[in-house]
Amino acid sequence: MIIHRNTLISEDLFERYFICDLHQCKGACCVEGDFGAPLQQEEVDLIKDDLRNIMPFLSEEGKAVITTNGVVETDKEGDLVTTCRTTGECSFAIYENGLLSCGMEKAYQAGNTNFIKPLSCHLYPIRINKVGIYDALNFHKWDICNCALKLGNQNKIPVFRFLKNALIRKYGEDWFMELEQIYEAYLLEKNA
């Protein structure tokens, strides 16, 4: 682990390569798993406040689930997650040309909301856990992302660079630029 400000960075974020390959996986992360996308309370509040602007971008099934069950539920550990349809898709997931994508993100791209999507989705495959005062940033390996590992390896894009925008959203541009410097020093030491 590498200490950077208030974070502990797994070396996997430097050593593994990753580029989402939506055309191969078809957006499986929006449907696979036991529960919806992890949420922070402030995200729940943002989604609820902007729901009327997001709803037009959702499927009829997603709208029905949200109308009946709301935007959030708790998983088996008591953490907040998005609600899901009976078929397993996140309530906010939409099908377009055979691919799953995020209705919240579509609303954001259309200028209807300032909330792009849950940070847990934006940062994937990075998962953040609290370790004392630090955020521990770890690489989460999931078989449905094997195609993303393959595409990342072909293009030599480290996980942290693929997630530049999400990491800047979470920690700021200065933090990310410092991470780039740490990465360059890491490579020099590794190759020495």
Q: pLDDT digit string (tens) for 72-115?
A: 999 999 999 999 998 888 999 999 998 989 999 999 999 999 99
Contacts of 95 (CB under 8 A, 6+ apart): 59
State the pTM of this model. Answer: 0.91
For residue 28, what pLDDT is reported?
85
Distance CA 152, CA 48 (A): 35
Looking at this protein, which amino acid is placed at residue 176? Answer: F
Looking at this protein, which amino acid is placed at residue 104? Answer: M
Average pLDDT, the chain: 94
**Mean pLDDT, to the nearest integer, of 169-181?**
98
Phi, psi of 186 (to 5 degrees): -60, -45
HEC sequence for the chain: CEEECCEEECCHHHHCECCCCHHHHCCHHHCCCCCCCECCHHHHHHHHHCHHHHHHHCCHHHHHHHHHHCCEEECCCCCEEECECCCCCECCEEEECCEEEEHHHHHHHCCCCCCCCCHHHHCCCEEEEEECCEEEEEECCCHHHHHHHHHHHHHCCEHHHHCHHHHHHHHCHHHHHHHHHHHHHHHHHHHC
Given a cut of 80, whether residue 192 has pLDDT beyond it is no
Are residues 71 and 51 in contact, defined by beta-carbon separation less than 8 angstroms? yes
| Residue 92, token pair as written in the block | 């906010």
pLDDT tier, 156 (very low <50, low <70, confident <90, very high otherwise): very high
**Mean pLDDT, to the nearest integer, of 109-136?**
95
| Residue 130, token pair as written in the block | 């609290």
pLDDT tier, 121 (very low <50, low <70, confident <90, very high otherwise): very high
**Mean pLDDT, to the nearest integer, of 118-125?**
95
